[in-house]
Structure 1
């Protein structure tokens, strides 16, 4: 009897989920297709966007009558009555939008009050055709509107505050070192792995459309074997509609900045489109003698060869003039962290700056065989060069800083050159077998990375006697003169490293029971060669991926995931022995829910990541110069955690971001029993962030004004260096930020104040016989003026 009741219940439930599709095309009055048009079903959580041909496909819509709302900035919105029937496709052709300056003004006026904090679908560079809610993985997307609200100008700023468990780790000042779930994230750009041993140059926000944080292994990206996940920067792309915007920014520490964003059609038929983003910035620091500048241009073109085929080419040039290592402060262990003034400078007058240049060329070719099958191929070549130096103590016997505060500051050459060649081709398709829809993803990924670096020249700049941190005297530094008569490749031959890999991937995402249940079966084959410091290893392996996603109710999904990862490792051991590849297993599950007709998204996830053959710093075998550049391999490390993310619109005026993560990473197996249970460094056990924005929409003098307030809170922070007894030496971290904004017509103003409480905030670690840390500035701010024309 129970079985009969269960079957009747399932049949009734599944019948209630009978669904159909809505397809259509949106054009201008002249017949030009419009891309990225918002298509929503009124008073529901269903919506999508048009592609580059103006086509949209709204799938899995319950049978019934609806009002379809079609909106795009600068055009008069349209509402159409639509009848959806079970297992049928409703075709809507000839949806024409008319231009309207009034609507353009209204959209700009809404500014941060619009629902642009929520991005429902991943970018095409993630290769996935399924909306985030229904994917068996935790993916968080930081939108361009959210970036503007927080007045973020660089990837190294507080982007991570918008994602649970993500945090910036202390760095050299040129690239974003981000940890998530306790492990370092590789950097991706437009779906391609641009991670370098010390790079790439952090992206300026002028070129960024949004940032996707993928948590856990990402087999669908072929090359990403890191079990913690990765972040993918999606750059701005060519558009058919005219875009012209200029921004001017001024801020604390003599920061001045200008950007320009332009796009549109170059031909009457709209087939040739462009986008151009440019930026220039100069800045000083709250530390004396520290200054820098940045410059970037990113032009791109797209040509629609036919209705089914398009080619896009994007060129990126970034240049930075920065001081590497100038943020580090050193002190005796007994003094403790933060024992020197917040603005203390460990460098000196005329400290040598480093010039970094990064250029890349990306070409993407996309062909749609029909509305179900598509093939994409893309190729990127990146060239990265650095000419400069870095600083670190060179006090004899590795003391770094003596108990009386004396130290000898060292400056070493840091010249580097890297070439990064990447190629991908992948296919998305769909077919049915009975009542099951199969969404197929398959592809090939290739990468060839080479990196040369010269760190072999340097010297003590305090030739007239030690520098004392308690009584600093500046102006007596004597900087070494480096010999650059040979090329970087010749000088950096001993530090030559890189990798060459090939990967194949095949995935079947099976949709069944009227698309309520989705089962993902996939496998990835990796063949990689790693070379570093004269050592080379080749490894290959097939890793599986199994995912399940189920709609408990419309807009409410449960998921589970089992994924293995495989990553060959390079590093230098004290006895020049090669390291075994890193092998990882991720098991996770969670719930995702849409609220308020899809305007607010929440997710909660529990995970366990097990890493075998994990590399850590070898503090038992220092190098001859006293540095700790060697690595050693533990047996097994396990990361466990819980994550919660909330992002979106609660009311028409109120947008919110809130997240929390509990992360615990420990050694679970090791040849040394004393290490079992030891905490792995580089994470905070508890992290929570919040950001609230309220924009006035009422028709009074406050209309267009917005107010923002946000916080970052980290509890039980571990030291960064694994050998620093792994004690939570760092105090809890709390930072409060806020801002006000105003927008009217085509004009927008954002004033943001960071570290409102003027706290002394820092991160760092014990290192050998001394401490180091990097402090953040006290209360500081910036104002940005934007004009769109």
Structure 2
């Protein structure tokens, strides 16, 4: 009887709910871009003065169910678009159609990228760092190349080195955050337009990045110190106003285990407080002997939008890395001839107990406030801290010698090094933006001040064996071997001089434990260091009909503090006036032509200025002239940029082979042509492609034999592409197939007799998405091509990864 009553009660509830639902209606529609007619995913559609609403799916469709009959106002909003309101009427048992077209607002985010972008393609429309204000890339009179988070996801890329092949004119110099841009070795790194420490070690993770962009050529008028070839800027993900959550797990070759988490959304009902949390973890080996990667990154971000005039954002990124520092593949010395295959590409030197631990923590606080519709103020501060603990057995950049002083090409000289140090960077940026008109001429004027300092505090130290004086002398010391005075040295059973650290046998390698107590070491305490740079700048973006001008000037002051925190502390000031001139002309609504002149200024690293390294040295100085065209095609879905440039640079530092010293090169010239394509050909096909021709030559040098030669790691030709085809509305709905490839022609090294061969590498992958689950498979280096992505000399080459695979499962909710 009791069971019958419960069932009757349940049936009554079901009947009542069905009756209640029958008295409601629904609202369904598609949201598109007013200009391109493309659907827009991730749009928030809400009913005013209620809690009911929905977000558009990947096809731009939304549906709000169980709406009581009546008249309502829909509020439609998306990042980067003007908010729109739409009146609708809902009837019982009916679905009201409400299709909406939104208009892009390129100035909505103003100058600081406070909250995330709505686009979900390989294309990026707006740049913030290149001009300090939100500017359409088509209107920037300078080449800017990039990769978006969507491309990063489709490639299953995890580090910056995995995606530089998709940017024209850039290739790896080594395994580190170390690149060649337009023929010049990179000198500076930026995160959200702020200067960070140029890490010589673990590669930057991508899990918290919105995009990686490279501002080609000198950018000193914007950032002060900058490399002549270009500046890489990493833009972090910002909070979104709609709830999105994603988790992924990846496994693959080399015992790879990875996991990422990306949560974002509002923290309150009126969406004035937004959050984002990115977490990434990796534990994997490598195709390289002894190498492994253990990384953990936690990156929370908060955006506060108390009014439509004020925006505040805070980012924190904590990264911990535990692995080894890979100094590259050594091969037999030059006396044995040039054979890149004399050792396997997996071959690395070192000891079994080597380690490299780094901790990186940085936080950014950014404010954007609009006083009026025409006047706004921006301020941001970033502190970037880096700590390192290193023990390594590495090459001494030389080979063993016998009793006659002849090179033994199969025995490599080894040095041991241990290092503990800390470095801190502070960045302050403040500027006003004033928009005004003089008649028919529009002005966007930027006036600002920035301050950047880098400090190495008390307490950093190192110990190690010398790279030059590697043989033990009878007086208990160390010295280079002098075959004219063999009586001064100890000799082993093989009749050869005894090294301080045992040579590494390239033919019969042994990976033993290495202890500091076994060697004669030189101890070094790193003196505290400080240098800082300040800049005041003025910029005007002028627009008159189809003509746009970018006029900018900067006065930059660089101060090196000599003997920091000591009684005889003093300062050395270097200053430079830096102009920037750019012209853009729209020949059609889709195509702009541009030209630009800009200069670079880069004081040398304070460490490199020390006499023991060959210093002091003059700063790097350069100039660039560039012309190009930027276009939008296929209903503005696909961007095509082409650029031709000429860059002159002087005072480049290069290593003196066989030592740790540096020397200054007279002058260099780089000229070439670049092409970048990003976006969608149609709804199904997403594409990124690039090509670069670059001729980077040494034009002045004390060594006349170098004049006219191509610079190190500067290929004449390079390029790549990646295409993804997505199936919709058929039996293969949810399936994505992608294919990519990249090529680099031969490159010189610092050894005149050693050249790296060109290569072409192919990748392929597929994924399948069913509801909220996506399964992906990627096969990199499909044809198992042996290649080298960069290299210094016979003792340090950087082979590319052989064929490998990745499999991942991702869940979004």
Structure 2 length-normalised TM: 0.77
In the alignment, what sits opposite 1:18? Answer: none
Alignment of 1:191-590 (within 5 A): 191-196=193-198, 198=200, 202-219=203-220, 221-325=222-326, 327-333=328-334, 334-347=336-349, 350-394=352-396, 402-403=407-408, 405-451=410-456, 454-458=461-465, 466-474=503-511, 476-480=512-516, 492-494=525-527, 497=529, 499-513=531-545, 516-530=546-560, 537-570=572-605, 571-572=608-609, 577-590=615-628
In the alignment, what sits opposite 2:20? Answer: none
Alignment of 1:34-183 (within 5 A): 40-43=33-36, 76=61, 93-94=84-85, 116-123=121-128, 127-156=132-161, 158-171=162-175, 175-183=176-184
In the alignment, what sits opposite 1:21? Answer: none
Q: CA deviation at 1:229?
A: 1.5
- Given the alignment of the two structures, is residue 774 of structure 1 paired with residue 798 of structure 2, yes or no? yes
- Quick one: distance in 1 between partners of 2:767 and 2:380? 39
In the alignment, what sits opposite 2:807? Answer: 783
The 3-state SS of whatever aligns with 1:149 is helix
Q: CA deviation at 1:455?
A: 3.9
Q: Report if aligned partners of 1:405, 1:468 keep a CA contact under 8 Å in 2.
A: yes
Out of 744, 762, 784, the residue aligned to residue 758 of structure 1 is 784
Cα–Cα, structure 1 residues 95 and 137, in superposed 2: closer, same or farther, change >3 Å? farther
- Quick one: distance in 2 between partners of 1:209 and 1:469? 43
**Structure index of larger Rg:** 2
Q: Report if aligned partners of 1:763, 1:774 keep a CA contact under 8 Å in 2.
A: yes
- Quick one: distance in 1 between partners of 2:433 and 2:56? 28
Cα–Cα, structure 1 residues 391 and 44, in superposed 2: closer, same or farther, change >3 Å? same
The 3-state SS of whatever aligns with 2:765 is strand
Q: CA deviation at 1:363?
A: 0.6
Q: Report if aligned partners of 1:443, 1:505 keep a CA contact under 8 Å in 2.
A: yes
Alignment of 1:662-681 (within 5 A): 662-670=693-701, 673-681=704-712
The 3-state SS of whatever aligns with 1:629 is coil
Q: Report if aligned partners of 1:331, 1:772 keep a CA contact under 8 Å in 2.
A: no
CA-to-aligned-CA distance 1:662-685 (integer Å, 9 cap, x gap)? 111112234555443232212111
Cα–Cα, structure 1 residues 279 and 671, in superposed 2: closer, same or farther, change >3 Å? closer
Q: Report if aligned partners of 1:302, 1:312 keep a CA contact under 8 Å in 2.
A: yes
Q: Report if aligned partners of 1:182, 1:663 keep a CA contact under 8 Å in 2.
A: yes
- Given the alignment of the two structures, is residue 742 of structure 1 paired with residue 779 of structure 2, yes or no? no
CA-to-aligned-CA distance 1:588-640 (integer Å, 9 cap, x gap)? 00011111111111111110011122222234xxxxxxx53222223321111
- How many pairs are equivalent? 684
- Quick one: distance in 2 between partners of 1:269 and 1:504? 39
Out of 600, 616, 637, the residue aligned to residue 654 of structure 2 is 616
Cα–Cα, structure 1 residues 336 and 377, in superposed 2: closer, same or farther, change >3 Å? same
Q: CA deviation at 1:331?
A: 2.3
- Quick one: distance in 2 between partners of 1:612 and 1:136? 24
- Quick one: distance in 1 between partners of 2:719 and 2:563? 40
Q: Report if aligned partners of 2:354, 2:393 keep a CA contact under 8 Å in 1.
A: no
- Quick one: distance in 2 between partners of 1:737 and 1:502? 45
- Quick one: distance in 2 between partners of 1:583 and 1:159? 29
The 3-state SS of whatever aligns with 1:331 is coil
CA-to-aligned-CA distance 1:43-78 (integer Å, 9 cap, x gap)? 579999999xxxxxxxxxxxxxxxxxx967697469
CA-to-aligned-CA distance 1:530-584 (integer Å, 9 cap, x gap)? 3689997421121111100000111101000011222222324568653222221
In the alignment, what sits opposite 2:473? Answer: none
Q: CA deviation at 1:151?
A: 0.6
- Quick one: distance in 2 between partners of 1:616 and 1:478? 31
Q: Report if aligned partners of 1:337, 1:771 keep a CA contact under 8 Å in 2.
A: no
Cα–Cα, structure 1 residues 520 and 550, in superposed 2: closer, same or farther, change >3 Å? same
The 3-state SS of whatever aligns with 2:151 is helix
- Quick one: distance in 2 between partners of 1:424 and 1:180? 26
- Quick one: distance in 2 between partners of 1:555 and 1:296? 41
Q: Report if aligned partners of 1:373, 1:430 keep a CA contact under 8 Å in 2.
A: yes
Structure 1 length-normalised TM: 0.80
Q: CA deviation at 1:351?
A: 2.8
Q: Report if aligned partners of 1:326, 1:391 keep a CA contact under 8 Å in 2.
A: no
Cα–Cα, structure 1 residues 360 and 593, in superposed 2: closer, same or farther, change >3 Å? same
- Quick one: distance in 2 between partners of 1:410 and 1:710? 41
- Quick one: distance in 2 between partners of 1:315 and 1:575? 36
Q: Mean Cα displacement is larger for which, 284-293 or 335-344?
A: 335-344
CA-to-aligned-CA distance 1:81-104 (integer Å, 9 cap, x gap)? xxxxxxxxx997525999x9x99x
Q: CA deviation at 1:392?
A: 1.9
- Given the alignment of the two structures, is residue 695 of structure 1 paired with residue 726 of structure 2, yes or no? yes
Cα–Cα, structure 1 residues 557 and 399, in superposed 2: closer, same or farther, change >3 Å? farther
CA RMSD of aligned residues (A): 3.5
The 3-state SS of whatever aligns with 1:684 is coil
Unaligned runs of 5+ in 1: 1-36, 52-69, 79-89, 104-113, 484-489, 620-626
